[in-house]
Amino acid sequence: MKIGFIGLGIMGRPMALNLKNGGHELIVPERGSLTAEIRAAAEVVADAQAVAAKAEVVILMVPDTPDVAGVLFGANGVAEGLKPGTLVIDMSSISPIETKDFAAKIAALGCDYVDAPVSGGEVGAKAASLTIMVGATDAGFARAKPLFDLMGKNITHVGGIGAGQTCKVANQIIVALNIQAVSEALVFASKAGADPAKVRQALMGGFASSRILEVHAERMLNGTFAPGFRIRLHQKDLALALGAAKDLGVSLPNTATAQQMFSSLAAHGGGELDHSAMIQALEGLANHKIRPDG
């Protein structure tokens, strides 16, 4: 299939290459940031409109709701180049409410729309092991599923349009709170005089074990916070959660606390760090570093 892919960042780039390796043709819009690998793997065209004009499927993987709106409906955007029958798949993490509006506009052009946000970070994108949460009609999901199989392992049709985005917001609540829990546990253990690396090792065999403890605690112990998923993007996701919770009359107290931890780091210039760097906010509150070198 001819697949247009817009949004070739930390996760989008390996996702697109996995589709190419699966036998599909890639079409991407010109950007100064395109890597040599992408230029060799894809046909590069002028803009999003040109991508849509050539593609059977258009996939978006961009940072936020306004970015999706701009790519779809801005000048020289996807909507201006769509042919009836084209499948549009948004794999970004954005507002469930806006997603339904975008889908209605795309449907009016005679095209299918699927929202399919992902979880798994850069590691999952490279390994084609992403969790993919899908909001779609049955027909839309059936069309998209073979492509999802090339990018992910745990693929769930959650419900209708917007359900994928709702599921992703729930995912981001759990991930943030788990990062906060692991951060607090390691700071507590270290301040009490225990070796936090050995505490992590012990906990990996018990009920507290988790992917966050496995992957992100190692980042915390090593002090390696190059972004797999940036703090500023997790802030965006938690803002979606808290905004929706207000509209629904739901209290999310721990989500609000996690957002404040991220906000503290962002205020100190840490918005581009990996979200596992939340531990730095907890270390600051405790006036204690878990790593011997600080």
Catalytic residue among 100, 168, 191, 236: 168
Rounded to whole angstroms, the Cα distance separating 59 from 202 reads 42
Rounded to whole angstroms, the Cα distance separating 251 from 269 reads 29
**How many Cα atoms sit within 13 Å of 211 on the Cβ side?**
10
Question: What CA–CA distances, in Å, run from 142 to 87, 149, 222, 248?
Answer: 11, 11, 43, 31
- Reply yes or no on whether 168 is catalytic: yes
Q: Can you list the alpha helix ranges (DSSP code H) found in the chain? A: 12-21, 36-41, 48-54, 65-73, 78-81, 96-107, 121-127, 138-148, 163-191, 196-203, 211, 217-222, 231-248, 253-267, 278-286
Q: Are 204 and 185 in contact (CB under 8 A)?
A: no
Alpha carbon 73 to chain centroid, angstroms: 22
Report the catalytic residues.
Answer: 168
